[in-house]
Amino acid sequence: MSQLYPMKLINIIANGALEERLVNMAEAHGTSGYTILEARGAGSAGLQTGTLEGGSNILFVLIVTESKLAGVMVDVEKLMKRGHHLACFVSDTQVLRREKFAG
Amino acid sequence: MSQLYPMKLINIIANGALEERLVNMAEAHGTSGYTILEARGAGSAGLQTGTLEGGSNILFVLIVTESKLAGVMVDVEKLMKRGHHLACFVSDTQVLRREKFAG
Amino acid sequence: MSQLYPMKLINIIANGALEERLVNMAEAHGTSGYTILEARGAGSAGLQTGTLEGGSNILFVLIVTESKLAGVMVDVEKLMKRGHHLACFVSDTQVLRREKFAG
Amino acid sequence: MDVSNLLIPAVLFFALGFLAQGVKSDLKFPPDLAKALSIYLLIGIGLKGGVELSHAHLGEAFDAVTAALVLGFGLPIVAYIILLAGRLDKLNASAIAAHYGSVSAGTFLTAIAYLNAQQIPYESYPVIMLAIMESPAIIVGLLLARFSRGSKQSNGEGDAREHHMGELLKDAFTNGSVILLFGGMLIGVVVKPGPLATITPFFSTLFMGALSLFLLEMGMEAGKRIGEFRRVGWFLMAFGVLMPLIGGSMGLMVGHYWLGFGVGGSMLVAVLGASASYIAVPPAMRLAIPEANPSYYLTLSLGVTFPFNVIVGIPLYHYFAARLIGG
Amino acid sequence: MDVSNLLIPAVLFFALGFLAQGVKSDLKFPPDLAKALSIYLLIGIGLKGGVELSHAHLGEAFDAVTAALVLGFGLPIVAYIILLAGRLDKLNASAIAAHYGSVSAGTFLTAIAYLNAQQIPYESYPVIMLAIMESPAIIVGLLLARFSRGSKQSNGEGDAREHHMGELLKDAFTNGSVILLFGGMLIGVVVKPGPLATITPFFSTLFMGALSLFLLEMGMEAGKRIGEFRRVGWFLMAFGVLMPLIGGSMGLMVGHYWLGFGVGGSMLVAVLGASASYIAVPPAMRLAIPEANPSYYLTLSLGVTFPFNVIVGIPLYHYFAARLIGG
Amino acid sequence: MDVSNLLIPAVLFFALGFLAQGVKSDLKFPPDLAKALSIYLLIGIGLKGGVELSHAHLGEAFDAVTAALVLGFGLPIVAYIILLAGRLDKLNASAIAAHYGSVSAGTFLTAIAYLNAQQIPYESYPVIMLAIMESPAIIVGLLLARFSRGSKQSNGEGDAREHHMGELLKDAFTNGSVILLFGGMLIGVVVKPGPLATITPFFSTLFMGALSLFLLEMGMEAGKRIGEFRRVGWFLMAFGVLMPLIGGSMGLMVGHYWLGFGVGGSMLVAVLGASASYIAVPPAMRLAIPEANPSYYLTLSLGVTFPFNVIVGIPLYHYFAARLIGG
Ligand SMILES: Nc1ncnc2c1ncn2[C@@H]1O[C@H](COP(=O)(O)O)[C@@H](O)[C@H]1O
Ligand SMILES: Nc1ncnc2c1ncn2[C@@H]1O[C@H](COP(=O)(O)O)[C@@H](O)[C@H]1O
Ligand SMILES: Nc1ncnc2c1ncn2[C@@H]1O[C@H](COP(=O)(O)O)[C@@H](O)[C@H]1O
Ligand code: NA
Ligand code: NA
Ligand code: NA
């Protein structure tokens, strides 16, 4: 039975314009990497049809160790405090290789 | 340490033709919003290559408060009872701002 | 209140070239299906901008019964042992219809 | 029937895509490319139809429209009866029938390319018939399904369905393909030649090249469906080859005896009758007949009937049109 | 003002898309298609502008650039004052103002198509002005927002913001649209006619057709925004119709009295003044004024002002240009 | 060597994309656009090659094919030796070597545009060589890696691998680029001029414009890789500039002394030798040599060698070809 190790799965849904900021954030916290998916939707910032840059969302996925979670959350809250429209949710997950994500 | 609040993360994978129905459902339950991602795959409805409208899936993501979950599930089951092919799975998650999702 | 049944949600992020292998794996384990989303990102394999086949990721999503998890993990580890660059994480989830996924 | 007639880009690109799948090539098409191309092609046909409609003879146009409606409403019923005779459940039969009553623009355009390559002239009305034939079959499918459900109507869900019905009928006339075809047609009719000429290079000059690219991708799509054949079983597979022959001959009759078209035009009506929709109808059936199994109708229309028509059907319908009319 | 002038492909395709949404058609466009088309169109305009710039009269070009800067810096301030007068909060006012100081290439190109269709000649400088006018309004919006925030500056975040400022200003000049327009322009200037001719079929011959397809999708986008109208409220809705009229008349004055353009040229400057950006500015405002509500400015520029300009504004500005100059 | 020769759209658009990244512009390309364009371009080259092949002299064609095979099998071995000399591990060396033995269609087409711009004639065979050279290097890389793994073979996984091997070899001949190039070529050969002319506007007239758009995006891609330079280190960076010079000179020799091509043709063979694949080979190596680090080979082929060839290499190879042959 392969061993699984607990990690935190951070999901951030925001306008594509925030991509660079989020990537920098991930790198600043020295995560093993990051994943981005194109998304559409609607929320407090209105309709995001995904057709124009100004109306396109991304789903930014970040797997981090428990220890890194707090730090990332602080940065995400900073963005929200500045007024950026984004949805952030965190779930428990497990990964196959701890060393890969514990950087 | 930033406070995180428990929420339910609903995922629905279905043919793109169901998008309007799902969006209406989300709005009927007064969620703070919804997110849609393009997807491909295979299931009981066969191969969904994503190339033609009739064979393209969406991943419909909905974050709701515990209290709203039951109601949404009832609507999803209605769709399934009508025969619609979809996969629905629910996970526990936590969000940064409760007020944003508790609408 | 609609009944929800526990399942395992397997997520694999890898280069698109691995798609066929992953699909075969899912079929080998007799899952009810699989879902694929296009993704970008960065990791130990470097930048994956999604622009060229060689630099495009997929997010491969698989819902399986607790009992099938171990078997799938073994296959995923085989891929990793061969050197394939991929991120695999598993979460607990719940589905609306057990019989749909318990195949 | 000279095989070299099949050596036209449209057919060869389709074959190439099909073959690429056959040898399990890692060739991938961005999913959105096919969607973009089909939008482009539908607008292009619409514009072409509109221009021709603008100097069409009204009486003839009216006949063509009526014939299209007859085929659109009639063929699904024929298909439905055959499918029930094959012991297929009523709901799947309704959904599949709708696909065969409707048309495949890709097949129709391949036939056009085939005729152009051999400099065979053809009437312009079939283009209009193509647009007309998108919707009726969807409605027939809807009604067939509704009656199939029968008793279900009595229970509580019934009302939901009733209420539903109107919306679904509306959908049949507002589905994407219909909007693009008729929209393009209208624009082709009302815009003066001057301004229209500014978009001709895009929508007309490039048309056949774009069609080739589209067919390459459709060839791959068809190839991917082969794996689904075991799902649909032999009876349905046979239906996927038999039905186009029935629809084709009915189309041929209508084209020749009713509309008095020549070899080219009659063959095109045959193609309309023979082809099955894989763009407009599948999403419509997803909503209208959710109980039906999408892998049945997609595999049949895209994986069986489409390749059959492109490779075998078109030259066959041409051959019979020539025999019948003597072109 | 002959209504048949509106019967040009660009306008009709926009209307078709808008209508498709109105009837709730299931017509879907692959999201990436619009992005690809706007990239194509911006390069195309740039190349066109570059070729014209290469045989432009420097003095006149300089005047046009100055005028563009004046409009680009002036219009947002006008918009800002009106919005504050309407009791809109300062940050939303700044963000919206930036959109109206900038321009919409889609609207501009529709105007070009409109002029071509009626064989009305026009000066080439407005193309250059279009490129110039992308950035200034973004900067004005930035500065307005910064002052609006006022006190906030004092607290800790302040420095972060300061530090921020330079980067944001830089963004204004390096945003995608600016790069494509000026890049295309530069290439149009430096490449010799021979090599340039090799890309003309792609970027020039197809241009109007590609524009039609883009406008079809933009029509759908505009249609989708109608649902958001209740969000923005009546005052902003009115602003979305009033502001283009103000910007349009200012543009008309500048075009005629300052730059001495004819009917065609003056009308194009009016369109630059009247149009609001929905491609370059929204993402810029997302970063520069995150506090503002994106559904306000997107709904206004794309859902209200864009349709208004395409259907009503363009012929209107033409009418007044003709009255003023007597073309 | 007149610098103005570099002022051709292809090169300038590539530079524009590279620059856009350099200034951190927010310019984004829809990911699928590059994939769609590369499919289009490969088919386009194939068709062109097919047409030329159809009136090619068989003996000469045979020589060209042989030469292509020699380069395709030889160059990776040269690259491999150099890389091992630089103390790179065997598996990464094998993967990188495969990229340099194969070719870059984007680079080749830029060279074609460069020659056209200066009206320098060139032989048609290099197009065929391009198609031939896609696969051999992949096979060499595979074999090199297999031997590198050595002992591993003995353990249980071995058989898996053995079993694997055939499939991987098959992949080399069925990868997407090969299918499109040879498929296009075949279609170009068998289709009669009449029907072929119907797709020429799409695949041929637009070709250079589409190439410019593709290179714009590739310029951005290359620019994004700069951040990865520290990952690959100095030795590999140097290799990325040195190897094209070696491959280029070998190509030049082959083109001139073996195939007896003129300046244009010899330069094109040099470009085939000098260029490294970034479309077909990376995914192949992902499967064939998973242990290798993809950021090495992608950064080298796309971030170092591609820009080097487009900006410096092509004029350089032309210069030497002219010196050698005296054009
Ligand atoms: N309740 C929700 N469920 C799923 N996605 C949401 C929800 N609320 C917001 N989102 C997504 O998050 C994006 C940004 O949210 P907002 O800040 O509310 O505009 C929206 O465009 C949606 O895609
Ligand atoms: N076990 C599974 N794991 C992941 N995705 C699934 C699974 N089963 C079904 N799906 C997805 O859900 C879609 C609809 O499922 P179905 O109703 O079985 O056709 C499929 O096309 C797949 O994309
Ligand atoms: N910590 C992480 N969080 C989110 N995604 C990741 C993370 N690490 C890797 N990935 C994704 O997994 C892919 C493969 O990872 P790797 O094997 O490290 O190259 C990367 O391209 C990323 O898209
Ligand atoms: Na039919
Ligand atoms: Na303006
Ligand atoms: Na090479």
**Single pTM value for the model:** 0.96
Q: How many CA atoms lie within 13 A of D231 on its CB side?
A: 19
Q: Identify the band that residue F202 occupies on the pLDDT scale cut at 50, 70 and 90.
A: very high
Alpha-carbon Rg for chain F, nearest whole angstrom, is 19
Flag if F13 and E40 touch (Cβ within 8 Å). Answer: no
Read off the pLDDT of residues E199-223 as tens digits, 9 standing for 90 and up. Answer: 999 999 999 999 999 999 999 999 9
What is the Cα F75 distance to its own chain's centre?
A: 12
Q: Evaluate whether D208 touches D111 at the Cβ level (below 8 Å).
A: no
Report d(CA C80, CA A96) in Å as an integer.
10
Q: Kind of pairing, strands A5-15 and A57-64?
A: antiparallel
Interface of D with E (CB under 8 A): 30-32, 35-36, 39-40, 43, 170-171, 174-176, 178-180, 183, 186-187, 190-192, 194-196, 198-203, 206, 283
* Angle, helices E90-101/E229-253, rounded to nearest 10 degrees: 50
Whether A86 is in the pocket of ligand 1, judged by its Cβ within 6 Å, is: yes
pLDDT at F275 over 60: yes
Whether C17 is in the pocket of ligand 3, judged by its Cβ within 6 Å, is: no
| B–F touching, 3+ CB–CB pairs within 8 Å | no
Report d(CA D267, CA D272) in Å as an integer.
9
Query: Which chain D residues contact residue C16 at CB under 8 A?
Result: 28
Which residue, A31, A34, A98, A91, is CA-closest to A64?
A31
pLDDT given at position D167? 81
Report d(CA F231, CA F296) in Å as an integer.
8
Centre of ligand 5 from the C-alpha of residue E7, in Å: 25
Torsion, CA E36, CA E39, CA E41, CA E44, rounded to 10:
-130
Flag if B49 and D221 touch (Cβ within 8 Å). Answer: yes
Query: Which chain F residues contact residue C46 at CB under 8 A?
Result: 228, 231, 293-295, 298-299
Residue D262 or C102, more confident: D262
Q: Identify the band that residue B75 occupies on the pLDDT scale cut at 50, 70 and 90.
A: very high
pLDDT at C2 over 90: no
One DSSP character per residue, E89-111 reads -HHHHHHHHHHHHS--HHHHHHH
Q: Evaluate whether D103 touches D134 at the Cβ level (below 8 Å).
A: yes
Whether A60 is in the pocket of ligand 3, judged by its Cβ within 6 Å, is: no
Instruction: Give CA angle at D34 (D272, D292), nearest 5°.
Output: 60
Q: Whose CA is nearest to atom 7 of ligand 1?
A: B33
pLDDT given at position F151? 47
Q: Evaluate whether E243 touches E305 at the Cβ level (below 8 Å).
A: yes
Alpha-carbon separation of residue E136 from C8, E77, E130, E173 (angstroms) = 53, 11, 11, 9
Distance from C1 to chain B by nearest Cα, in Å?
6
Report d(CA F188, CA B46) in Å as an integer.
36
Sign of CA dihedral F130, F134, F139, F145: positive
pLDDT given at position F126? 96
Residue F156: other Cβ atoms inside 10 A: 6
Residue B7 φ/ψ, nearest 5 degrees: -145, 170
Q: What is the ipTM of this complex?
A: 0.96
One DSSP character per residue, B39-101 reads EEEEETTEEE-SSSGGG-EEEEEEEE-HHHHHHHHHHHHHHHHTT--EEEEEEEEEES-HHHH
Ligand 3 atom nearest the C-alpha of C45 is 19
Report d(CA F215, CA F227) in Å as an integer.
20
Q: Which of E38, E39, E138 to mutate: most F Cβ within 10 Å?
A: E39
What are residue B9's DSSP bridge partners? B63, B91
| Tokens representing residue F316 in the block | 């350089």
Whether A61 is in the pocket of ligand 3, judged by its Cβ within 6 Å, is: yes
Torsion, CA E67, CA E72, CA E74, CA E75, rounded to 10:
120
Sign of CA dihedral F48, F51, F54, F56: negative
Flag if F34 and C52 touch (Cβ within 8 Å). Answer: yes
Distance from B62 to chain D by nearest Cα, in Å?
21
Neighbour subunits, A (≥3 Cβ pairs < 8 A): B, C, E, F
pLDDT given at position C103? 62
Q: Identify the band that residue E160 occupies on the pLDDT scale cut at 50, 70 and 90.
A: low
Report d(CA E188, CA E203) in Å as an integer.
11
Residue with tokens 């082809």: D275
| Contacting residues for E257 by C-beta, under 8 A, at least 6 apart | none
Question: For every one of its 327 residues, what pLDDT tens digit does chain D have, with 9 covering 90 and above?
Answer: 566 777 999 999 999 999 999 999 999 999 999 999 999 999 999 999 999 888 888 899 999 999 999 999 999 999 999 999 999 999 999 999 999 999 999 999 999 999 999 999 999 999 999 999 999 999 999 999 998 887 454 444 544 554 577 888 888 889 999 999 999 999 999 999 999 999 999 999 999 999 999 999 999 999 999 888 888 899 999 999 999 999 999 999 999 999 999 999 999 999 999 999 999 999 999 999 999 999 999 999 999 999 999 999 999 999 999 999 985
Q: Evaluate whether F267 touches F255 at the Cβ level (below 8 Å).
A: yes
pLDDT at E143 over 90: yes
Q: Evaluate whether A64 touches A8 at the Cβ level (below 8 Å).
A: yes
Flag if A20 and F26 touch (Cβ within 8 Å). Answer: yes
Least confident of B39-48, D267-276, D304-313, F152-161: F152-161
| Tokens representing residue F129 in the block | 């060589």
pLDDT given at position F1? 52
Torsion, CA B66, CA B71, CA B72, CA B74, rounded to 10:
130
pLDDT given at position E231? 85
Read off the pLDDT of residues C9-32 as tens digits, 9 standing for 90 and up. Answer: 999 999 999 999 999 999 999 999
Report d(CA A13, CA F209) in Å as an integer.
36
pLDDT given at position F159? 45
**Choice from A11, A31, A32, A91 to test ligand 3 binding pocket (greatest atom count within 8 A of CB):** A32
Centre of ligand 5 from the C-alpha of residue E263, in Å: 19
Whether B85 is in the pocket of ligand 2, judged by its Cβ within 6 Å, is: yes
| Tokens representing residue F43 in the block | 């088919």
pLDDT given at position A86? 97
**pLDDT mean over B45-54:** 95
Report d(CA F303, CA F220) in Å as an integer.
10
Residue C71 or F326, more confident: C71
Residue A87: other Cβ atoms inside 10 A: 25
Residue with tokens 């109208």: E229
Q: Identify the band that residue E164 occupies on the pLDDT scale cut at 50, 70 and 90.
A: confident
Residue C50 φ/ψ, nearest 5 degrees: 85, 0
Q: Identify the band that residue E177 occupies on the pLDDT scale cut at 50, 70 and 90.
A: very high
**pLDDT mean over A26-35:** 97
Residue with tokens 């959904």: D95
**Choice from B13, B40, B84, B86 to test ligand 2 binding pocket (greatest atom count within 8 A of CB):** B13
| Tokens representing residue F301 in the block | 């082929």
Distance from B101 to chain C by nearest Cα, in Å?
20
Whether C101 is in the pocket of ligand 2, judged by its Cβ within 6 Å, is: yes
Which residue, E251, E237, E253, E249, is CA-closest to E305?
E237
Query: Which chain B residues contact residue E24 at CB under 8 A?
Result: 20
Torsion, CA F243, CA F246, CA F251, CA F256, rounded to 10:
160
pLDDT at E154 over 50: no
pLDDT given at position D164? 73
Query: Which chain A residues contact residue F28 at CB under 8 A?
Result: 16, 53
Q: For E272-301, what is the HEC assignment? A: HHHCCCCCCHHHHHHHHCCCCCHHHHHHHH
Least confident of D110-114, E1-5, E174-178, F161-165: F161-165
pLDDT given at position E155? 46
State whether residue D275 is helix, strand or coil: coil
pLDDT at C64 over 70: yes
pLDDT given at position E165? 79
pLDDT given at position D197? 96
pLDDT given at position D172? 86
Flag if D209 and F199 touch (Cβ within 8 Å). Answer: yes
pLDDT given at position B93? 98
Q: Evaluate whether E110 touches E268 at the Cβ level (below 8 Å).
A: no
Q: Evaluate whether B37 touches B61 at the Cβ level (below 8 Å).
A: yes
Read off the pLDDT of residues E12-36 as tens digits, 9 standing for 90 and up. Answer: 999 999 999 999 999 999 999 999 9
Residue F106 one-letter amino acid: G
How many CB pairs (< 8 A) connect A and C?
67
Residue B102 one-letter amino acid: A
pLDDT at A103 over 70: no
Alpha helical stretches, state H, chain A = 19-28, 66-81, 98-101
Element (H, E) at B8: strand B5-15
